[in-house]
Amino acid sequence: MKCFSCFSSSKKKDERDASTTSAGTNTEGSSSTDVPASSSTPGNSSAEASNTVPNIATQKFTFRELEIATKLFLDECVIGEGGFGKVYKGTLERTGQVVAVKHLNLDGAQGSREFLNEVSMLSHLQHQNLVNLVGYCSEGDQKLLVYEYMPSGSVEDHLFDLKRGQQPLDWFTRMRIAFGAAEGLEYLHDKVDPPVIFRDLKASNILLDGNFNPKLSDFGLAKIGPVGNNTHVSTMIAGTYGYCAPEYAMTGHLKVTSDVYSFGVVLLELISGRRAFDDVKPTHEKSLVVWAKPMLGDQTRYPDLIDPLIKNDYPPKGLKQAVAIAAICLQEKASNRPRMCDVAMALEPITVADIESPSPRSSTSSVPPLPDETSAAKGTSTSGSHNA
């Protein structure tokens, strides 16, 4: 049975958009510094990664500078909180730049290893769909990360438990978010050598700028992917329940296809407005993937997946394409999942109102056909799928 034809394409890396490989972060008014000495490229004992990925300039801040920026870490400046600690909105006194300051919670589940990992990762990576690391602070027990400020918050803020009067995301904004996140993962998997596995893709880790352009954030759990003849990286299981690929959750074997599965979950969240795992729902609906699986195999039930807040304001053909992409990403067998470059190519045409319009990215190939209603949901082998 035929699935996405573009998933079997054998495009060379140099045929992809090379603009994402440019280095250099705009740190206006700041001087560049080296990342902490102990934070060499994470997950890789050799110098291979640092030799192939540019070291982007980052600024080292004093704790006092960040105290001033956040008004002594005033509660009114808190814009987020997680296992790492609190995130504050602040303004750098020297440049006037508005930033987000993440203050490490020393008692939290994540610690110094994740801090060093994130500084090192983001000091070597740059792409329009990755959050920009402005700098860091490491003074004694004080560990802080300084990012560009993302005024629209996270995808999670706009999908679940909306505040009174808050407008839900429309269909095309959701698809543009999915496409941008896919391009960010494509960069990590295909443009960085060795590849980087994000490992914690979820709605709360996709931030949005003022125009709702998405950027992947929180690289504390990211890992350097397998190199040479290795098929996976063995690591302690980490991530968020509901998003983890089944083979990774069972074995700890991490592959780039683990990210593809997580992306499929996020895409289902964008389509349905449901959480990856929701403990307040009935038993058979707690897991988004379990709830959606019967509908993924029946095109007549695709409309049942749509977020009620969207109502009927979506293109049926676009829904059909989006659900089929999600279904293929969620294949239980990792080798049947597509590469993120092909996922992005399949998504791009449905980010605009006219799905039939030619895509600049896929100008040399037609929009990939949809799989039939049973192959994607039941795990039928896909010709040319990514073997990882």
Contact 31, 59 (CB under 8 A): yes
What is the reported pLDDT for 81?
87
- Four-CA torsion 224, 114, 18, 261, nearest 10 degrees: 70
- What is the pLDDT, as a whole number, of residue 85? 86
d(CA 68, CA 91): 8
Q: Are 385 and 9 in contact (CB under 8 A)?
A: no
The pLDDT value given to residue 75: 96
Catalytic residue among 141, 161, 170, 200: 200
Dihedral sign, Cα of residue 303, residue 183, residue 87, residue 77: negative
Among the four given CATH numbers 3.30.230.70, 3.30.200.20, 3.40.1160.10, 3.40.30.10, the one describing domain 20-148: 3.30.200.20
102 annotated ligand-binding residue: yes
Q: What are the CA-CA distances from residue 319 to residues 283, 288, 380 (Å)?
A: 26, 17, 21
- How does DSSP classify residue 33? B
pLDDT at 87: 96
- Is 200 a known active-site residue? yes
The residue extents of the domains of the chain are: 5-15+153-378, 20-148
d(CA 237, CA 156): 23
Neighbours of 72 (CB within 10 A): 9
Helix (H, G, I), strand (E, B) or coil at 100: strand
pTM for the whole thing? 0.80
Query: For residue 50, how many other CB atoms are within 10 A of its CB?
Result: 15
Q: Give the model's pLDDT for residue 21.
A: 37
The predicted structure's pLDDT at residue 82 = 77
Whole-number pLDDT of residue 40: 38
Sign of the Cα torsion 211, 174, 307, 243 reads negative
Identify the H or E element spanning 91.
strand 85-91
Q: How far apart are CA 85 and CA 111, in angstroms?
A: 10
> Is the alpha carbon torsion for 181, 127, 158, 287 positive or negative?
positive
Q: DSSP character for 277?
A: B
Instruction: Show the low-confidence residues of the chain (pLDDT under 50).
Output: 1-35, 37-54, 109, 356-360, 362-374, 378-388
CATH (residue range 5-15+153-378): 1.10.510.10
Q: Furthest-apart CA pair in the chain: how many Å? A: 62
- Among left, alpha and beta (phi > 0; psi -120 to 50; other), residue 124 is alpha
Residue 303 neighbours by CB distance under 10 Å: 14
5-15+153-378 with 20-148: one CATH topology? no
Number of neighbours of residue 74 by Cβ within 10 angstroms: 11
Q: How many other CB atoms are found less than 10 A from the CB of residue 101? A: 27
Cis ω before 194 (30° cut-off from 0): yes
Q: From CA 57, how far away is CA 126, in angstroms rounded?
A: 11
Give the C-alpha separation, 222 to 261, whole Å: 15
Please report which helix (H) or strand (E) contains residue 49, including its range.
Answer: helix 48-52
Give the number of residues written for the chain: 388
d(CA 206, CA 159): 12
